[in-house]
């Protein structure tokens, strides 16, 4: 069985928060606002895996109305979702994601992000990360926030 899922997420950039992407802290003057660590890359990947599993979305599994997910590590949430896939007889065989951010420059951090994401159970050589700007257009272009589109492929026997 081969299944694919898409994920999309965006968060607002605000002052007074650390910028966490792919489980690592990236030096910047602002960070992403959110109930958890607001790791928009992990959230998007989580949604893509849940999509492939036919399991709805991140908000259904880790609702922001529940105190236990406040400041939760999104890498840990990704780990839980990958375990969920394994229980259903699937491995995450490929992840591709595009991070849309005007600043900071993310290229130099992509390998470190991949390494960190690999700790959640996807092999490092099965992850492709890309960073792009939005050419100054829209909310990402104005630097108001960061968005991520992710696609995951799951392979396995299914259950
Ligand atoms: Mg989110």
- The single-letter DSSP state of residue 52 is H
Question: Ligand 1 centroid vs 91 CA: distance in angstroms?
Answer: 23
Kind and range of the H or E run holding 77: helix 74-87
Closest CA to 106 of 43, 47, 41: 41
| Homologous superfamily assigned to 2-156 | 2-C-methyl-D-erythritol 2,4-cyclodiphosphate synthase (3.30.1330.50)
pLDDT in the model for residue 128: 98
Question: Ligand 1 centroid vs 147 CA: distance in angstroms?
Answer: 9
Annotated domain spans of the chain: 2-156
Task: Tell me how far CA of residue 15 lies from CA of 19, 31, 32, 121, 138, in angstroms.
Answer: 10, 6, 8, 32, 20
Question: Ligand 1 centroid vs 65 CA: distance in angstroms?
Answer: 13
Question: Ligand 1 centroid vs 92 CA: distance in angstroms?
Answer: 20
Q: What is the mean pLDDT of each run of 10 residues along the chain (159 residues)?
A: 98 97 98 94 98 96 84 92 96 98 97 96 96 98 98 92
Question: Ligand 1 centroid vs 76 CA: distance in angstroms?
Answer: 14
Question: Ligand 1 centroid vs 158 CA: distance in angstroms?
Answer: 27
Question: Ligand 1 centroid vs 106 CA: distance in angstroms?
Answer: 19
**C-alpha span between 45 and 52 (Å, rounded):** 11
pLDDT in the model for residue 68: 82
Name, in order, each residue with C-beta under 8 angstroms of 66's C-beta and a sequence gap of 6 or more.
none
**C-alpha span between 97 and 74 (Å, rounded):** 16
């Amino acid at each position: 069985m081969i299944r694919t899922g898409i994920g999309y997420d965006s968060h607002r950039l605000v002052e007074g928060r650390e910028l966490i992407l792919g489980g690592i802290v990236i030096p910047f003057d602002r960070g992403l606002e959110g109930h958890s660590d607001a790791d928009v890359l992990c959230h998007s990947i989580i949604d893509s895996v849940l999509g492939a599993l036919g399991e709805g979305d991140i908000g259904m599994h880790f609702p922001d109305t529940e105190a236990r997910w406040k400041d939760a590590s999104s890498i840990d949430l990704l780990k839980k979702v990958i375990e969920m896939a394994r229980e259903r007889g699937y491995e995450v065989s490929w992840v591709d994601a595009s991070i849309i951010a005007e600043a900071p420059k993310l290229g130099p951090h992509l390998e470190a992000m991949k390494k960190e994401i690999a700790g959640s159970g996807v092999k490092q050589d099965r992850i492709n990360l890309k960073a792009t700007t939005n050419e100054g257009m829209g909310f990402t272009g104005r630097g108001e926030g960061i968005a991520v589109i992710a696609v995951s492929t799951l392979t396995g026997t299914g259950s």
